[in-house]
Amino acid sequence: MNFTERLRASQNAQNSLVCVGLDPDPRKIPQFLHQNENPVAEFNRRIVESTHDLVCAYKMNLAFYEALGEKGWQALRATLALIPKSVITIADGKRGDIGNSSEMYARSILEDFNFDASTVHPYMGFDSLQPFARNAERGVFVLALTSNPGAKDFQYLKVQGKPLYEHVIRRVKKWNTAGNFGLVVGATRPAQLKTIRALALTLPILIPGIGAQGGDLRKAVRYGCDASGFLALLTAARSVLYASSGEDFADAARAAALSLRDEINVCREEYFV
């Protein structure tokens, strides 16, 4: 199966479009965990064990692990080892460099850590992304339209009468010959998300910004899914990870993930079934 087929199979088997962002901040995890040798690894273990049956994917922003040095890398490896094979793992590093550098980045993410997918930026063109895309089973999520205020600096610039992000999407569609490319579109851009899905009917769309960032969940489901109600990854991090700061944090995370999954599925039934 190519990556898009793998993602659809995971979403169907898990009955979920939820992607939890495993972006642990040592300053925010419960204090009692700091008695462990690797508090972040222990925090992630409990989150994964309490939520893995409710999600289709986990997305790990590599910066949260890189900042911790060796213990961060240890925590990342320990976390990946816990995630069931039926659940997609996404390395969120937003890579994209000249060819030989991208080869090394891709080797690290896809071979050493064995992630299922990567996030990349398109600014340097296809040769900078090709190393991530050679294996059709591994996904490549290209930044299309982000939710940060600075998105307006470049992503909305008009090029031949169309915003730059539309040119990115059209190019990604051409690159998607093996069925393993997708897009990243912020949930705080619902009107543009609707337009983007119309342009990219069959591409997976990773949609961060659900939860603490305030993205409109119903619109993200309605406009982000494909025609059959799949291929959107609705991503929440802080609203799940830090649902509680007490000893019940894992149970609270499960409750938050369950509520999110069920709310998404209600919307899917309304719009797509």
Where do the domains of the chain lie?
A: 3-272
CB count, 10 Å around CB of 191? Answer: 9
The reported pTM is: 0.97
C-alpha 149/C-alpha 158 separation (Å) is: 17
Q: What residues does 58 pair with on adjacent strands? A: 20, 89
Contact 122/129 with Cβ under 8 angstroms? yes
Tell me which residue of 210, 182, 197 sits closest to 117, measured CA to CA: 182
Q: What is the pLDDT along the chain (273 residues), one digit of tens a residue?
A: 999 999 999 999 999 999 999 999 999 999 999 999 999 999 999 999 999 999 999 999 999 999 999 999 999 999 999 999 999 999 999 999 998 999 999 999 999 999 999 999 999 999 999 999 999 999 999 999 998 889 999 999 999 999 999 999 999 999 999 999 999 999 988 999 999 999 999 999 999 988 656 679 999 999 999 999 999 999 999 999 999 999 999 999 999 999 999 999 999 999 997
The per-residue pLDDT for 49 is: 98
3-state secondary structure of 60: strand
Planar angle of CA 242, 40, 254, nearest 5 degrees: 40
Active site residue 94: yes
Contacts of 101 (CB under 8 A, 6+ apart): none
The per-residue pLDDT for 212 is: 59
- β-pairing, 205-207 vs 181-185, is parallel
Is 3-272 a CATH 3.20.20.70 domain? yes
C-alpha 38/C-alpha 23 separation (Å) is: 15
Q: From the candidates 71, 85, 94, 219, give the one annotated as an active-site residue.
A: 94
Tokens of 218: 């119903």
